[in-house]
């Protein structure tokens, strides 16, 4: 499999929990977000130049008065303490020279946790591509989320295939399979909740 990058565009999504007792009001919060964005952009540009976008607290909804404020500065106060191990891939394999995630699939929320769901969905998509498209010998799928986006709408869906030639019809079929797998998120959640799908 070969990839050729012709131009570099980088989008950074930063989840910056702000401690409520240090934030005076909504305007102060917005100014802190701008400051965090500026720090990230300066740091990124100090190591290279590229088309750069930085999003801070992308799930904020100012019209609904939703902002990333915490008491302690971590998500532990809401019960998200990350105790589940980080070494157990849903495939059962640890593949340092292949696409993989450091997220553990077991013990995670089967409704919204993309570390769990995207492992299974990317495996499903890769298997379907190889089994349903005759001239493809291997496939890798990388799904990347972004805070605030629904599970069925990843920020990036990257598919690499090993094929002699990638005809337009084949590309179209891959896109169709990707849409089907991503559109099946609710059914996958239901299978996980009812024990019909294993994670390792």
Q: What is the CATH number of the domain that holds 114?
A: 3.30.300.280
Q: Are residues 94 and 24 in the same domain?
A: no
Structural domain includes residue 2? no
Rounded to the nearest 10°, the torsion over CA 88, 90, 93, 99 is -110
Range of the domain at 51: 7-79
- How many domains in the chain? 2
Considering the entire predicted model, what is its pTM? Answer: 0.72
Half-sphere exposure at residue 191, Cβ-oriented, CA atoms within 13 angstroms: 12
| Each residue's pLDDT tens digit, 4-45 | 444 568 889 999 999 999 999 999 999 999 999 999 999 988
- As to burial, measured by CB atoms within 10 angstroms (0-12 exposed, 13-18 middle, 19+ buried), residue 41 is middle
Q: Kindly state the average pLDDT of the residues 66-77.
A: 85
* Confidence tier at 154 by pLDDT (50, 70, 90): very high
**pLDDT attached to residue 4:** 47
Of 79, 98, 113, which marks where a domain is finished? Answer: 79
Distance CA 74, CA 68 (A): 10
Structural domain includes residue 49? yes
* Confidence tier at 79 by pLDDT (50, 70, 90): low
Percent above pLDDT 90 for the chain: 57
């Amino acid at each position: 499999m070969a990839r050729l990058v012709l131009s570099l565009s980088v989008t950074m999504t930063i989840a910056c929990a702000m401690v409520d007792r240090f934030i005076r009001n909504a305007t102060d919060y917005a100014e802190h977000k701008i400051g965090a964005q500026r720090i990230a952009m300066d740091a990124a540009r100090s190591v290279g130049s590229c088309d750069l976008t930085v999003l801070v607290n992308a799930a904020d909804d100012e019209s609904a008065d939703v902002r990333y404020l915490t008491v302690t500065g971590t998500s532990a106060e809401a019960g998200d303490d990350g105790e589940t191990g980080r070494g157990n891939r849903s495939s059962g394999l640890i593949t340092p020279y292949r696409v993989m995630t450091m997220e553990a699939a077991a013990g995670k929320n089967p409704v919204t946790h993309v570390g769990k769901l995207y492992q299974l969905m990317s495996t499903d998509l890769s298997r379907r591509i190889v089994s349903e498209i005759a001239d493809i010998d291997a496939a890798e799928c990388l799904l990347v989320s972004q805070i605030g986006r629904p599970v069925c709408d990843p920020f990036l869906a990257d598919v690499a295939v090993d094929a002699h030639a990638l005809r337009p019809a084949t590309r179209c079929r891959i896109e169709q399979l990707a849409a089907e797998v991503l559109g099946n998120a609710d059914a996958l959640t239901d299978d996980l909740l009812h024990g019909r799908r294993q994670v390792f």
